[in-house]
């Protein structure tokens, strides 16, 4: 395999799909050496097949807003790879959603899901619907309209969507209601992230953030460090940031910054439980403004417009918001302010220049597909509970999540340990995920 050649072909075939091309490039670069040791992969053209989704559904979603005006959005479901299990991955509702974004996310999901130890293939979907400023009724009508198109592309053993940016428990509830009405079956396992009283797994809402912190603990332990009393800056204030802030505080760290598209909130004395609870209200309001935290807690949280969380002095940076949210300049600013660890919680949260800078300047770095895999892993646990018609206790789920995050860390160490003894977590995660998917594809023949 020659990465440059494959990338040139993909660029010609998919011009302008920058996020997708970026995600593929990162993976191919790190697996090239291992791939070339396996002529059977080359013969079966594993990479050429793996970089293209199995299929993409595109559909029109028409709904009526509160003023009575008709609105039309585009909906998508990208079934990327089903070598190791049914298609699995979230739905993103965001105004910037385009096929390139969902293709990058579906590609990443394939490797991430492989790391979880559970049998799940990769998928992603969503819409360019913008939840900001929408009423609850509008959200419901949109979710129902979206599901009228999606429902016959999915199924508990076929494709199992879940939440992502702009899609949380409320949206999953509205979509499940419409699915059930259309399918006339209580297929509990067709969506994950459901409410706890109707098939949702305990701890699923917390799982991405909790899992990220469990992974961070392992990474720090391996480096001879500890999270207690360390300062943490995180971006976002949605579901993932909320779970990460909750667990970081519980483990004795001090969360000194959260951020939003409008700016950053500095919290010099560390985030409190009341502030963490308020993050849920901020998300539910659909205002998308982190400034609301400073308004609610004057004197404790200080808002600065237009600044990122990466301008705040911290030991550990946790990007929890959106792809490419941390640039090379941000990485330099973090390092100059004393930051020595960055665990990427958002999918592809760091730009390639930032990752390169961290890795060459002594900043511990781990990629999103390893760090944030606790979310989809707990979705996998939800599927298991649904399939066997039971529900596990919080302790049972948390113990399993711990085990999974530890195992993901071990896989990164196994495949990412360099001759000088340092660990390249990007390489480790990519090679571990790739080997599992590639082996399954090989064994299933040319399809």
Tell me which residues are annotated as active site: 124
Q: How far is CA 336 from CA 232, 289, 330, 357, in A?
A: 15, 28, 10, 12
- Closest by alpha carbon to 101, among 166, 185, 31? 166
Q: Which residue is nearest to ligand GLU (CB)?
A: 90
Backbone angles phi and psi of 141, in degrees to 5? -65, -40
Choice between 374 and 416, CB closer to ligand GLU: 374
Stretch that binds ligand GLU, among 30-38, 277-285, 350-358, 372-380 (CB under 6 A): 372-380
At its nearest, how many Å lie between ligand GLU and the CB of residue 360? 28
What's the CA gap between 127 and 443, in Å, rounded? 35
Q: Does 376 bind ligand GLU (CB under 6 A)?
A: yes
Q: Does 122 bind ligand GLU (CB under 6 A)?
A: no
Residue ranges in 151-203 assigned as alpha helix (H): 169-183
At its nearest, how many Å lie between ligand GLU and the CB of residue 175? 13
Tokens of 23: 């995600």
Q: Which residues pair with 71 in a beta bridge?
A: 63
Choice between 90 and 236, CB closer to ligand GLU: 90
Q: Does 347 bind ligand GLU (CB under 6 A)?
A: yes
At its nearest, how many Å lie between ligand GLU and the CB of residue 418? 27
Q: Does 144 bind ligand GLU (CB under 6 A)?
A: no
At its nearest, how many Å lie between ligand GLU and the CB of residue 150? 14
Tokens of 130: 């913008």
**Given 26, 53, 88, 217, the residue binding ligand GLU (CB under 6 A):** 88
At its nearest, how many Å lie between ligand GLU and the CB of residue 194? 11
Q: Cβ-count burial of 330 within 10 angstroms (0-12 exposed, 13-18 middle, 19+ buried)?
A: buried
What's the CA gap between 70 and 432, in Å, rounded? 47
Tokens of 239: 């579901």
Backbone angles phi and psi of 350, in degrees to 5? -105, 135
Q: Where are the beta strands (DSSP E) in 282-440?
A: 302-305, 316-318, 341-343, 364-366
Choice between 194 and 254, CB closer to ligand GLU: 194
Q: Does 116 bind ligand GLU (CB under 6 A)?
A: no
Q: Does 379 bind ligand GLU (CB under 6 A)?
A: yes
Q: Which residue's structure tokens are 């509160």?
A: 66
Stretch that binds ligand GLU, among 174-182, 226-234, 371-379, 387-395 (CB under 6 A): 371-379
User: Do residues 163 and 169 touch, judged by C-beta distance below 8 A?
Assistant: yes
At its nearest, how many Å lie between ligand GLU and the CB of residue 210? 13
For residue 8, the tally of other CB atoms under 10 A from its CB is 11
User: Do residues 439 and 38 touch, judged by C-beta distance below 8 A?
Assistant: no
Given the DSSP bridges, would you call strands 122-127 and 87-93 parallel, antiparallel or unpaired? parallel
Q: Does 246 bind ligand GLU (CB under 6 A)?
A: no
Length of the chain in terms of residues written: 447
**Given 26, 159, 164, 325, the residue binding ligand GLU (CB under 6 A):** 164
At its nearest, how many Å lie between ligand GLU and the CB of residue 239? 9
Choice between 204 and 249, CB closer to ligand GLU: 204
Choice between 162 and 290, CB closer to ligand GLU: 162
Which spans of this chain sit near ligand GLU (rule: CB under 6 A)?
88-90, 112, 162, 164, 192, 347, 375-376, 379
């Amino acid at each position: 395999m020659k990465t440059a050649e494959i990338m040139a072909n993909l660029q010609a075939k998919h011009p302008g799909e920058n996020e997708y091309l970026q995600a593929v490039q990162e993976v191919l670069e790190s697996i090239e050496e291992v791939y070339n040791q396996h002529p059977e992969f080359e013969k079966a053209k594993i990479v050429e097949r793996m970089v293209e989704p199995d299929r993409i559904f595109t559909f029109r979603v028409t709904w009526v807003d509160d003023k009575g005006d008709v609105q039309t959005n585009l909906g998508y479901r990208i079934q990327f790879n089903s070598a190791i299990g049914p298609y699995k991955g979230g739905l993103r509702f965001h105004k910037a959603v385009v096929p390139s974004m969902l293709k990058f996310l579906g590609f990443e999901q394939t490797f991430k899901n492989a790391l979880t130890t559970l049998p799940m293939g990769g998928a992603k979907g969503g819409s360019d619907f913008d939840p900001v400023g929408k009423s609850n009724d509008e959200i419901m009508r949109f979710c129902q309209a979206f599901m009228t198109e999606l429902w016959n592309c999915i199924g508990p053993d076929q494709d199992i969507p879940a939440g992502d940016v702009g899609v949380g428990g409320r949206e999953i509830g509205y979509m499940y209601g419409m699915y059930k009405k259309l399918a006339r079956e209580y297929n509990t396992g067709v969506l994950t992230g459901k409410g706890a009283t109707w098939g949702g797994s305990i701890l699923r809402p917390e799982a991405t953030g909790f899992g990220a912190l469990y992974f961070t603990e392992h990474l720090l332990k391996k480096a001879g460090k500890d999270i207690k009393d360390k300062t943490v800056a995180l971006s976002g204030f949605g579901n993932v940031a909320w779970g990460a802030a909750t667990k970081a505080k519980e483990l004795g760290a001090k969360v000194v910054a959260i951020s939003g598209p409008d700016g950053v909130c500095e919290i010099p004395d560390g985030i409190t439980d009341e502030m963490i609870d308020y993050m849920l209200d901020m998300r539910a309001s659909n205002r998308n403004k982190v400034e609301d935290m400073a308004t609610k807690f004057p004197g404790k949280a200080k808002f600065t417009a237009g600044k990122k969380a990466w301008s705040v002095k911290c030991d550990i940076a946790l990007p929890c918001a959106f792809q490419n949210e941390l640039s090379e300049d941000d990485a330099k600013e973090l390092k100059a302010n004393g930051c020595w660890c960055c665990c990427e919680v958002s999918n592809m949260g760091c730009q390639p220049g930032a990752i390169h800078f961290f890795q060459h300047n002594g900043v511990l770095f781990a990629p999103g597909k390893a760090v944030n895999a606790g979310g989809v892993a707990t979705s996998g646990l939800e599927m298991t509970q649904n399939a066997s018609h039971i529900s596990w206790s919080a302790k049972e789920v948390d113990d399993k999540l711990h085990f999974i995050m530890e195992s993901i860390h071990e896989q990164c160490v196994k495949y990412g340990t360099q001759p000088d003894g340092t660990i390249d977590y990007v390489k480790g995660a990519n090679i571990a995920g790739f080997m599992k998917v590639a082996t399954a594809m090989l064994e299933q023949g040319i399809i």
